């Protein structure tokens, strides 16, 4: 009988660990309800708005997302278009800070309210942010993003 | 020489630009530091400039006020009016300036609103005096005003300067003293229209008398921001220089020897184009060039190609780059590439590659057009107007260019595909085309079956169009200009067909978006809005300042507060109440909701502080909130905000359109009028937005549709026997289940010609414009343009048919406009009659107050109207607008004069508010000594017309452009048919003149034309026969003459020779002593005579040589092209290929042309239908490769083909190739058969440049 190469063992261990993490994580979503998934999305949105990096949460946008912005824009945009609409907004309203004021992750219509501080042409400003999520193909997605 | 100098210049400038970048890089830190140190000074300069601009505007407006005041004064002194109406009539109509005339404290003249009362006017006159401008503030608008006086008449003129409110809808007309300057100078300006400014950092505004009338405070941006902006500008300059450097370097590189091969040139071009496009992507050029809307992603943005399509402008730049590449590839593959040279394996690979690329292109094209529709907020088909914003027109241009590049690419691939396959299948070109069309279509259909990119029908349209155009391109002998027009129109048709298809997909998808919109709002959102609104109201410093005065219009202030909050962006009902410290209502603004103010709910909460107090009333589905307003720590008033949930209204029902925010449903491609929305709550139909009622069975059908896990579903439902597509969505909340069904009749989603022609018309204008530009750019060639017979026929046919059509369209439009106007007036009149009848009846029979009767009439008749007594408004169904001073409280002056002075009973006038124009009917009534005027308009009453003016325009443009296109097509066909035989004859005559006697025309026509063609053919045959006979006779006669001459010339030396020999014989016989000397003399004579004979022989030999050659410098590409043109009517395509436009050699022009004719004629006689003359200009010689796809030359005869009198043809002379070789020998050239097979022959001709 051939000896098992000892170098393979750590690899198998890592593989098993990652698999078990996956199983645990998926259980948490299924069993623990929608809370964690929603929390993760809201965290992504928070980070994205704070830094103006839309890519952080652009994958979480619904096929048609309602976007209403301080700049006057308010309409439904495709996920493709939303990316650049938001990117364009944050280029003019450069975020300097963002904090979540209120979060509801357990209800049927999860939402969050936040406060954004920005710099527009060297002048500081403040906006309230409202986000709602909806189920789309069994995944929570951003259905509405209002920055006023 | 010049070219090489220019190329060197490219490199030098490129290097210079790069050096400049380095210099800027080194110098910029000190420059930035210096700017930073002097920032305060530059800011002062900026302020002075802003002050100058504002003052210039005020001065200009003041001059306008003075001018119009003077005009009115002159009119009054001239007319000497007596009655009030006389004054009213003197007021000039001016849409910009408001005029009020006062006489003895009475308003006697106005042209719009009553802006001021007499008391206030007297105060202002006392304060400012006559003829001096000042700011006059009304709640919503600030004016620059002036008081003038003539006799006892006070003239108050005002120009609006600044609006205190902002609305985001399509009717709002913005007006600001400072907004444009904010953006231009990157500052924050705040106008103050008080005489004395309180701020320290302000700019004074003065009237022409030098009195300060207002000020503008300036909040400067930070030094860091300005420095950063400067850094950005420097970076931009550096980027531009780098791009210039790259461009010039690429230009220099393209002239290098390394790009001798066409394929390398093509690759170089593609790489250069990609680099240039990539460089432009680094610059946000639209922003710097002032194309703010074209770089706005809301009009179009897609992450496709790593952001190279993120805005309409970026998409345009990318499409232009792709178009340039597609054009180059098209040219390369249709004119330059010689795929015959490739081996079979390579050909097979290319064949598969071309088919694969064609499929890939189809997928790319469908994705691009789909993205244009789905990733854009532009409603390409919904908006009825033809030019609905330049962003839309710009996107139409992008769509056309995408279509054009697709057509160019696909034609390239199809022709490449056909070219390669023709090498394997020996069939005629039509057969190959049909076979490949069939194969490609199968692949397109399979692609559709598996990936569903568009539809089977559209994939078939794509295939037919692409193969049809490719065949057209190579088989039709029309000019390039005509072919380009065909390509452009085909691109338009292709792209619009797909655009229209995806639009129907979007329309269907919109049902889901509408369902989302109708369920978007919930209690959380309303709470967010309410808290936000209270915060914004509390921080509104203008309101706090104004609220100190008791004499302000509190309703208007409530409206202003509302417009400044986020509530104005939503469509649910909302109310803003302003309440005094004693809890009395001072003013209110109600939007889509009405309820009486009550303090009770606040008392019930019993809180000591009312700061942002919020209460949700779930029973009434309202959320209320209140906040106290303080001024320097003292309570001034309270503001209560009420938000009503669940009051969503579709845009068609919205009477508040003038003040409503743009509704998201308005921005959806579907027409909300056609929607069917049913709202089931707990299994019962509780609400609906449609006039189509459901039967119980239909209700059950909708409710019984099984939903997916997401609680939604697409379903087809038959309602009233009509098929409808529905999106069903179920929502579960505390109140139970809610099922929302949003649907549309299938016939309203289907593709229609009307939409198609709207875009096609815009594309046609673009194409015509492009053609016009092309003609203007090439104006130098106009002189050489001869108006052909065909053009004359075409122009005549077009004139005869289009002129009456245009006349008819104009006439029809006038009639329809008048009919529409009459229809509106009729409906307004009918409604006014109904209101009059209702009011008069209730006045005489009811005990209700007048106001209650009017309200009842509004509710019962469902008509919105206004009532005037004299010139003053006493009631309006839409009182909100009048209370907030949005609409004038005075009767329209024209209506007043018509009804009161000229005794008219009724008048319709066109009025406007903001950018909205409407028809307003004024109807004079009277009941029991009460005289009043009813006003009904189509601003507050929605009248459906069968076809609105804009729709009619589109319809007319659409149908008539279709008619014009049909006429152009038919006229072109007819003109072609008439002129084509004549053109053929002209060209054939030219060929005959050039010595081609083998030409014979084919004719399918009948009648005179056939006789003419037959006559021509007979004539050419006869000419040829005569030429041969004549040549025979001439040859015979020449031989006879020559024989005679030869005999004569030979005889001449023979006689002296004979005599000399006889003399020598006699001397010999006589044994003469002088025999030796005689012998010497005789032999000398004989030798001389023999020399004479030799000379005679040489001269005859010279005489029999080729005709003399006239050497001159000729451009052989030009000669070859002209020769190829002679064969344009033959069933064979003759193509001249060269990478140069001019190749000059020393040769005989006429004989060179004859040589080419000989070679082409030989190929045609060997059944070739494609001949290529490839001309290469090498350093010391020119190489011509004449290749054909004929039947080739038999190996047996190959060694003899250049011999004289050798021919394989029945009627050949056997001289053609022999003469060609002989001609080439004379001009240092040689000819050889490079290759020959059953697939064709390649003849190689080499001509030395040094003859």
List pLDDT tens digits, range A91-102. 889 999 999 988
Minimal Cα–Cα distance from A8 to chain B, Å? 40
pLDDT of residue B1139: 76
Would you call A122 and B296 a contact, using CB atoms and an 8 Å cutoff? no
A64, A68, A134: which to substitute to probe chain B, counting the most B Cβ within 10 Å? A64
Would you call B528 and A128 a contact, using CB atoms and an 8 Å cutoff? yes
Any CB–CB contact under 8 A between A96 and chain B? no
Q: Which 249-278 residues of chain B touch chain A by CB within 8 A?
A: none
- Pairing state of beta strands B722-733 and B736-745? antiparallel
**How far, in Å, CA of B689 to CA of B26, rounded?**
68
Q: Which residues of A touch B535 (CB under 8 A)?
A: 128
3-state helix, strand, coil in chain B (%, to 5): 55, 20, 25
Minimal Cα–Cα distance from B685 to chain A, Å? 23
Would you call A121 and B226 a contact, using CB atoms and an 8 Å cutoff? no
pLDDT band at A30 (very low <50, low <70, confident <90, very high): very low
Calculate what percentage of chain B has a pLDDT beyond 70.
Answer: 90
Model confidence pLDDT, tens digit, residues B879-895: 888 999 899 999 999 99
Q: Is the pLDDT of residue B955 over 80?
A: no
pLDDT band at B413 (very low <50, low <70, confident <90, very high): very high
Q: Measured between CB atoms, which of B168, B224, B376 is closest to A72?
A: B168
Rounded to 5°, the CA angle A79-A83-A89 comes to 135
Q: Is the pLDDT of residue A11 over 50?
A: no
Rounded average pLDDT over A43-70: 91
Would you call B298 and A77 a contact, using CB atoms and an 8 Å cutoff? yes
Which residues 6+ apart lie within 8 Å of B684 measured at CB? none
Q: Is the pLDDT of residue A26 over 60?
A: no
Lowest mean pLDDT among B765-779, B953-967, B1097-1111: B1097-1111
Phi, psi dihedrals of residue B153, rounded to the nearest 5°: -95, 130
Phi, psi dihedrals of residue B428, rounded to the nearest 5°: -70, 160
pLDDT of residue B70: 94
**How far, in Å, CA of B709 to CA of A137, rounded?**
8
Comparing alpha-carbon positions, the chain A residue that sits nearest to B185 is: A121
Exposed e or buried b for every residue in B265-285, given b needs 16+ CB within 10 A? bbebbeebbeebbebbbeebb
Classify residue B723 as exposed, middle or buried by CB count within 10 Å of its CB (0-12, 13-18, 19+). Answer: exposed
Any CB–CB contact under 8 A between B221 and chain A? yes
Q: Measured between CB atoms, which of A74, A78, A111 is closest to B524?
A: A111
pLDDT of residue B323: 95
Model confidence pLDDT, tens digit, residues B133-156: 999 999 899 999 999 999 889 999
Q: Which residues of A touch B512 (CB under 8 A)?
A: 64
**How far, in Å, CA of B559 to CA of B140, rounded?**
9
pLDDT of residue B220: 66
Q: Which residues of A touch B532 (CB under 8 A)?
A: 128, 148
List, in sequence order, the alpha helices (H) in B519-553. Answer: 523-538, 541-546
The Cα-based distances of B653 to B323, B489, B592, B862 in angstroms read 46, 41, 11, 13
* Under 8 Å between Cβ of B552 and B713: no
pLDDT of residue A22: 38
pLDDT band at A15 (very low <50, low <70, confident <90, very high): very low
pLDDT of residue B197: 58
pLDDT of residue A18: 41
Would you call B301 and A68 a contact, using CB atoms and an 8 Å cutoff? no
Any CB–CB contact under 8 A between B314 and chain A? no
**How far, in Å, CA of B109 to CA of B604, rounded?**
53
Q: Measured between CB atoms, which of A81, A138, A144 is closest to B297?
A: A81
The structure tokens listed for B405 are 């590049």
Q: Is the dihedral of CA B840, B842, B847, B853 positive or negative?
A: negative
pLDDT band at B1106 (very low <50, low <70, confident <90, very high): low
Calculate what percentage of chain A has a pLDDT beyond 70.
Answer: 76
Comparing alpha-carbon positions, the chain B residue that sits nearest to A111 is: B524
Any CB–CB contact under 8 A between B492 and chain A? no
The structure tokens listed for B915 are 């950018």
A121, A132, A147: which to substitute to probe chain B, counting the most B Cβ within 10 Å? A121
Rounded average pLDDT over B53-57: 94
* Under 8 Å between Cβ of B396 and B403: no
Determine the 3-state secondary structure of A117 from DSSP. Answer: strand
Q: Which 16-55 residues of chain A touch chain B by CB within 8 A?
A: none
Model confidence pLDDT, tens digit, residues B188-207: 888 888 776 555 667 889 99
Any CB–CB contact under 8 A between A115 and chain B? no
Q: Measured between CB atoms, which of B221, B667, B709 is closest to A75?
A: B667
**How far, in Å, CA of B71 to CA of B92, rounded?**
9
Q: Which of B65, B111, B69 is nearest to B88 (CA)?
A: B111
Average pLDDT along chain A: 78
Q: Which residue has the higher pLDDT, B513 or B954?
A: B513
Lowest mean pLDDT among A89-93, B721-725, B1198-1202: B1198-1202
Phi, psi dihedrals of residue B161, rounded to the nearest 5°: -115, -35
pLDDT of residue B344: 78
Average pLDDT along chain B: 84
Any CB–CB contact under 8 A between B948 and chain A? no
Would you call B371 and A83 a contact, using CB atoms and an 8 Å cutoff? no
Classify residue B587 as exposed, middle or buried by CB count within 10 Å of its CB (0-12, 13-18, 19+). Answer: buried
Would you call A146 and B528 a contact, using CB atoms and an 8 Å cutoff? yes
Classify residue B355 as exposed, middle or buried by CB count within 10 Å of its CB (0-12, 13-18, 19+). Answer: buried
pLDDT of residue B699: 92
Give DSSP secondary structure letters for B287-318: HHTT-GGGG-TTT--B-GGGGTBSSHHHHHHH
Any CB–CB contact under 8 A between A57 and chain B? no
Model confidence pLDDT, tens digit, residues B1113-1135: 888 888 888 888 777 666 777 88
pLDDT band at B654 (very low <50, low <70, confident <90, very high): low
A78, A105, A129, A137: which to substitute to probe chain B, counting the most B Cβ within 10 Å? A78
pLDDT band at B1215 (very low <50, low <70, confident <90, very high): low
Q: Which of B349, B315, B298, B250 is nearest to B10 (CA)?
A: B250
Would you call B525 and A64 a contact, using CB atoms and an 8 Å cutoff? no
Count the Cβ atoms, other than its own, within 10 Å of residue B710. Answer: 14
Q: Which of B76, B70, B78, B104 is nearest to B90 (CA)?
A: B76
pLDDT of residue B1212: 54
Q: Is the pLDDT of residue B875 over 90?
A: yes
Minimal Cα–Cα distance from A18 to chain B, Å? 30
Would you call A75 and B374 a contact, using CB atoms and an 8 Å cutoff? no
Model confidence pLDDT, tens digit, residues B1039-1086: 777 777 777 767 777 777 888 888 888 888 888 788 888 888 888 888
């Amino acid at each position: 009988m051939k000896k098992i190469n000892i170098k393979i063992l750590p690899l198998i261990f890592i593989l098993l660990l990652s698999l078990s993490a996956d199983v645990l994580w998926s259980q948490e979503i299924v069993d623990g309800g929608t809370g964690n998934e929603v929390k993760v999305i809201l965290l992504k949105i928070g980070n994205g708005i704070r830094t103006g990096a839309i890519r952080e949460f652009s994958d979480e946008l619904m096929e048609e997302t309602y976007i209403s912005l301080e700049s006057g824009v308010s309409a439904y945009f495709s996920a493709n278009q939303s990316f650049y609409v938001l990117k364009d907004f944050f280029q003019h309203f450069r975020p300097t800070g963002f904090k979540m004021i209120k979060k509801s992750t357990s209800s049927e219509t999860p939402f969050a309210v936040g406060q954004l501080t920005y710099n527009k042409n060297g002048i500081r400003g403040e906006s309230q942010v409202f986000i709602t999520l909806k189920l789309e193909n069994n995944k929570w997605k951003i259905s509405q993003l209002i920055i006023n | 020489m010049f070219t090489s100098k220019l190329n060197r210049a490219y490199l030098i400038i490129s290097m210079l630009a790069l050096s400049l970048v380095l210099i800027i890089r080194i110098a910029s830190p000190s420059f930035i530091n210096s700017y930073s140190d002097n920032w305060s000074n530059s800011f002062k300069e900026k302020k002075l400039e802003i002050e100058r601009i504002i003052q210039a505007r005020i001065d200009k407006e003041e001059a306008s006020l003075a001018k119009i005041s003077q005009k009115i004064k002159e009119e009054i002194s001239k007319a000497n009016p007596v009655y009030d109406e006389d004054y009213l009539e003197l007021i000039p109509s001016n849409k910009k300036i408001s005029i009020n005339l006062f006489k003895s404290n009475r308003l006697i003249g106005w042209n719009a609103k009553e802006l001021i009362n007499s008391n206030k006017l007297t105060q202002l006159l006392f304060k400012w005096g006559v003829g001096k401008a000042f700011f006059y503030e009304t709640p919503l608008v600030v004016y620059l005003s002036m008081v003038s006086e003539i006799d006892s008449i006070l003239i108050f003129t005002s120009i609006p300067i600044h609006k205190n409110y902002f609305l985001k809808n399509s009717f709002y007309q913005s007006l600001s003293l400072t907004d444009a300057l904010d953006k231009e100078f990157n500052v924050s300006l705040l106008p103050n229209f008080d005489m004395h400014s309180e701020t320290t950092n302000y700019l004074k505004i003065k009237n022409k008398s030098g009195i300060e009338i207002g000020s503008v405070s300036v909040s400067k941006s930070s030094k860091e921001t300005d420095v950063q902006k400067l850094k950005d500008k420097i970076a931009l300059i550096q980027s531009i220089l780098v791009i210039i450097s790259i461009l010039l370097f690429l230009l220099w590189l393209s002239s290098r020897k390394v790009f001798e091969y066409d394929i390398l040139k093509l690759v170089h071009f593609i790489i250069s184009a990609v680099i240039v496009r990539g460089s432009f992507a680094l610059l946000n050029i639209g922003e710097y060039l002032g194309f703010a809307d074209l770089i706005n992603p809301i009009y179009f943005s897609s992450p496709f190609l790593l952001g190279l399509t993120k805005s309409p402008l970026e998409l345009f730049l990318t499409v232009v780059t792709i178009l340039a590449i597609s054009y180059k590839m098209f040219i390369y593959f249709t004119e330059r590439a010689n795929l015959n040279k490739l081996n079979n394996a390579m050909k097979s690979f290319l064949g598969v590659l071309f088919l694969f690329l064609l499929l890939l292109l189809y997928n790319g094209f469908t994705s691009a057009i789909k993205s244009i529709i789905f990733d854009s907020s532009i409603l390409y088909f919904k908006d009825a107007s033809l030019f609905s914003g330049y962003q839309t027109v710009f996107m139409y241009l992008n769509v056309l260019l995408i279509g054009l590049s697709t057509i160019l690419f696909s034609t390239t691939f199809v022709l490449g595909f056909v070219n390669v396959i023709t090498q394997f299948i020996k069939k005629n070109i039509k057969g190959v085309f049909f076979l490949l069309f069939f194969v490609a279509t199968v692949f397109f259909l399979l692609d559709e079956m598996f990936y569903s990119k568009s539809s089977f029908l559209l994939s078939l349209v794509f295939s037919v169009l692409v193969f049809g155009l490719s065949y057209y391109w190579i088989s039709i002998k029309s000019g390039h200009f005509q072919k380009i027009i065909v390509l452009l129109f085909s691109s338009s048709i292709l792209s619009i067909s797909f655009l229209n298809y995806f639009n129907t997909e979007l329309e269907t998808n919109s049902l889901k978006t509408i369902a989302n919109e109708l369920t978007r709002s919930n209690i959380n959102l309303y709470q967010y809005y309410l808290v936000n609104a209270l915060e914004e109201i509390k921080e509104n410093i203008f309101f706090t300042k104004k609220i100190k005065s008791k004499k302000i219009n509190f309703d208007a202030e409530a409206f202003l507060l509302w417009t400044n909050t986020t509530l104005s962006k939503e469509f649910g009902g909302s109310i803003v109440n302003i309440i005094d410290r004693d809890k009395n209502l001072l003013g209110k603004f109600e939007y889509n909701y009405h309820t009486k103010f009550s303090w009770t709910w606040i008392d019930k909460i019993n809180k000591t502080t009312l700061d942002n107090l919020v209460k949700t009333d779930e029973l009434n589905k309202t959320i209320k909130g209140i906040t106290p307003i303080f001024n320097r720590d003292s309570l001034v008033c309270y503001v209560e905000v009420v938000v009503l949930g669940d009051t969503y209204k579709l845009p068609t029902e919205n009477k508040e359109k003038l003040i409503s925010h743009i509704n998201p449903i308005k921005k959806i491609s579907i027409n909300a009028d056609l929607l069917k929305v049913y709202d089931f709550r707990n299994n019962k139909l509780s609400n609906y937005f449609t006039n189509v009622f459901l039967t119980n069975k239909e209700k059950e059908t909708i409710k019984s549709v099984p939903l997916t896990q997401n609680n939604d579903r697409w379903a087809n439902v038959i309602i009233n026997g009509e098929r409808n597509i529905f999106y069903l969505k179920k929502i579960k909340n505390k109140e139970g289940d809610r099922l929302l069904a949003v649907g549309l009749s299938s016939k309203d989603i289907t593709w229609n010609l009307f939409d198609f022609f709207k875009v096609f018309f815009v594309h046609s204008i673009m194409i015509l414009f492009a053609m016009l530009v092309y003609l203007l750019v090439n104006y130098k060639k106009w002189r050489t343009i001869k108006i052909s017979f065909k053009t004359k026929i075409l122009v005549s046919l077009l004139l005869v048919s289009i002129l009456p059509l245009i006349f008819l369209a104009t006439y029809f439009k006038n009639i329809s406009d008048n009919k529409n106007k009459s229809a509106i007036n009729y409906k307004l009149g009918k409604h006014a009659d109904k209101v009059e009848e209702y009011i008069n009846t209730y006045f005489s029979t009811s005990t209700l107050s007048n106001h209650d009767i009017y309200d009842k009439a509004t509710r019962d008749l469902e008509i919105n109207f206004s009532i005037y007594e004299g010139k003053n408004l006493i009631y309006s169904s839409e009182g909100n607008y009048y209370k907030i001073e949005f609409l004038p409280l005075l009767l329209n002056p024209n209506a007043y004069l018509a009804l009161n002075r000229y005794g008219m009973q009724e008048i319709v006038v066109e009025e406007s508010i903001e950018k909205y124009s409407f028809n307003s009917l004024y109807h004079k009534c009277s009941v029991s000594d009460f005289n009043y005027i009813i006003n009904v308009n189509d601003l507050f009453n929605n009248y459906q017309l069968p076809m609105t003016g804009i729709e009619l325009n589109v319809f007319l443009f659409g149908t008539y452009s279709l008619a014009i296109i049909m006429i152009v097509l038919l006229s072109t066909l007819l003109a072609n048919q008439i002129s084509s035989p004549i053109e053929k004859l002209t060209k054939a005559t030219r060929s005959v003149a050039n010595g081609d006697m083998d030409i014979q025309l084919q004719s399918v026509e009948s009648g005179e034309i056939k006789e003419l063609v037959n006559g021509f053919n007979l004539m050419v045959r006869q000419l040829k026969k005569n030429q041969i006979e004549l040549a025979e006779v001439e040859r015979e006669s020449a031989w006879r003459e020559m024989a005679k001459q030869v005999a004569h010339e030979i005889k001449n030396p023979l006689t002296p020779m004979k005599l000399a020999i006889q003399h020598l014989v006699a001397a010999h016989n006589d044994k003469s002593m002088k025999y030796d000397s005689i012998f010497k003399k005789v032999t000398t004579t004989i030798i001389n005579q023999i020399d004479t004979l030799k000379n005679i022989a040489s001269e005859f030999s010279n005489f029999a040589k080729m005709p003399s050659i006239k050497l001159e410098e000729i451009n052989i590409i030009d000669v070859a092209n002209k020769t190829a043109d002679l064969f344009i009517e033959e069933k064979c395509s003759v193509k001249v290929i060269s990478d140069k436009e001019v190749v000059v050699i020393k040769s005989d022009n006429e004989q060179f042309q004859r040589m080419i004719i000989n070679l082409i004629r030989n190929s045609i006689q060997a059944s070739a239908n494609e001949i290529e003359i490839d001309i290469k200009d090498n350093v010391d010689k020119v190489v011509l490769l004449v290749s054909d796809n004929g039947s080739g030359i038999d190996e047996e005869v190959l060694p003899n083909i250049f011999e004289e009198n050798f021919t394989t043809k029945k009627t050949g002379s056997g001289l053609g190739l022999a003469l060609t070789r002989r001609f080439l020998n004379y001009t240092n050239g040689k000819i050889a058969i490079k290759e020959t097979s059953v697939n064709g022959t390649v003849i190689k001709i080499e001509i030395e440049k040094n003859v």
